[in-house]
Amino acid sequence: MRLDGKRVLVTGAAKRVGAALAGALAAHGARLILHCNRSRREAEALARRLRAVHKTDCVVLVADLAEPRQVARLAREAARAFGGLDALVNNASVYAKHPFGTATAADFDLQMAVNARAPLLLAQALAPALARARPGKIVNIADWSGQRPYADWAPYCASKAALLALTQSMAKALAPKVLVNAVMPGPVLEPASGGAAARRWKRAAARANLVGRVGAPADVSAAVLFLLAGSDFITGAAVPVDGGRLIA
Ligand SMILES: NC(=O)c1ccc[n+]([C@@H]2O[C@H](COP(=O)([O-])OP(=O)(O)OC[C@H]3O[C@@H](n4cnc5c(N)ncnc54)[C@H](OP(=O)(O)O)[C@@H]3O)[C@@H](O)[C@H]2O)c1
């Protein structure tokens, strides 16, 4: 599967799963627009590494996806960066625990804004450019918990459920020129906090799925790569990459 020369915008690409995704896409020949918000230094370092290792074009764009005007600017700059766009990967996300009774309106609004509204606004703004790619591709990184929510993460799970609904809605609106799918990762990378809490997370996550271990960012990258380069006959799908957690 090759993406030679394809122009791909990856949001939240500076670190963690987003950086792994960017690395996998660059390794398969994509030209990348790496979006970041607070992690500009990491994004610039990643861009330098990807240019050096994969001899591919790589630019960095900064935007706070909670701010619609910045989302609009990101879309304009992304479409201009390489004179068009072939694919959008909505990976950026806010992931915050709010035991029932503690979530504020601001907590809810932030997660809905970054995890669901921004992907829709980006897709709307970039649809004309993506349609010229015939087919353009959008991959939304959701979460298995968008279908089976946790009690203590209501705003996050609701935002990922919204992203899954948006995936189907956009697949209908944009067919056949743009194909829109979602990937639903299970646990693939422990929380950035690290330490004992991360180790507990890993053990509990491994026990809870059918495969008996946590996955890796590369598992998410493989699914995204397949949706971008492996088939032009899938749209409106949500692919679990969760070791069977959804049915466990
Ligand atoms: N990690 C897992 O095991 C797991 C499991 C299920 C689903 N997922 C999904 O997979 C994706 C990647 O996971 P991850 O753990 O790598 O994500 P993450 O580290 O929690 O977040 C990814 C990036 O989102 C960006 N972001 C957050 N708020 C933003 C804002 N207001 N504006 C713009 N960007 C913002 C951040 O960019 P900056 O650092 O530049 O600010 C951050 O680096 C997410 O969609 C997540 O929900 C992950």
Say which DSSP state 211 is in.
S
156 is catalytic: yes
**Percent of the chain residues topping a pLDDT of 90:** 96
Distance 68 CA to ligand 1 centre (A): 18
pLDDT tens column, 31-80: 999 999 999 999 999 999 999 999 999 999 999 999 999 999 999 999 99
At residue 27, does pLDDT exceed 80? yes
**DSSP for residue 67:** S
pLDDT of residue 51: 98
The CB-side HSE value for 77 (13 A sphere, CA atoms) comes to 15
Q: What is the pLDDT of residue 50?
A: 98
pLDDT for the residue 115: 99
pLDDT of residue 186: 97
Domain boundaries defined on the chain: 7-239
Which is the closest atom of ligand 1 to the Cα of 143? 7
Pick the CATH number of 7-239 from 3.40.50.720, 1.20.58.1610, 3.40.50.800, 3.40.50.970: 3.40.50.720
Residue whose tokens read 């503690």: 102
* Mean per-residue pLDDT, 87-101: 97
Dihedral angle at the C-alpha atoms of 206, 212, 213, 216, nearest 10 degrees? -110
**Using a 6 Å CB cutoff, which residues line ligand 1?**
12, 14-18, 36-39, 64-66, 91-95, 114, 141, 143, 185, 187-189
DSSP letters of 14-58?
SSHHHHHHHHHHHHTT-EEEEEESS-HHHHHHHHHHHHHHH---E
Given the CA of residue 35, which atom of ligand 1 is nearest to it? 40
Ligand 1 atom at minimal distance to the Cα of residue 141: 45
Amino acid at site 60: V
Residue 228 banded pLDDT, cuts 50, 70, 90: very high
Q: Write b or e for each residue in 17-28: b if 16 or more Cβ atoms lie within 10 A of its Cβ, otherwise e.
A: bbbbbbbbbbeb
- Taking the centre of ligand 1 as the mean of its atom positions, its distance from the CA of residue 170, in whole angstroms, is 22
Mean pLDDT of the chain: 97
167 alpha carbon to ligand 1 midpoint, in Å?
18
Ligand 1: which atom is nearest the Cα of residue 214? 3
CB atoms within 10 A of CB 53: 11
CA 39 to centroid of ligand 1, rounded, Å: 11
pLDDT at position 171, please? Answer: 98
Q: Say which amino acid occupies 216.
A: A
What is the Å distance from ligand 1's center to 133 Cα? 27
- Cβ contacts of 111 within 8 Å, gap of 6 or more: 94, 96, 155, 156, 158, 159
Q: What is the mean pLDDT of residues 118-142?
A: 98
Burial class (CB in 10 A: 0-12, 13-18, 19+), 248: middle
User: What is residue 226's predicted lDDT score, i.e. its pLDDT?
Assistant: 98
pLDDT score for 193: 81
pLDDT at 241: 98
| pLDDT per residue as tens digits for the range 162-193 | 999 999 999 999 999 999 999 999 999 998 88
Catalytic residue, chosen from 150, 160, 172, 202, is 160
**Sheet of 87-90, strands arranged across:** 58-62, 31-36, 7-10, 87-90, 136-141, 178-185, 238-241
- At what angle are helices 154-174 and 105-112 packed, to 10 degrees? 30
pLDDT band with cut points at 50, 70 and 90 for residue 219: very high
* Token pair listed for 165: 């609904």
Nearest CA to ligand 1 atom 36: 12
pLDDT number for residue 146? 98
Q: What is the mean pLDDT of the segment spanning 95-103?
A: 96
- Which among 55, 95, 150, 156 is annotated as catalytic? 156
Known catalytic membership, residue 95: no
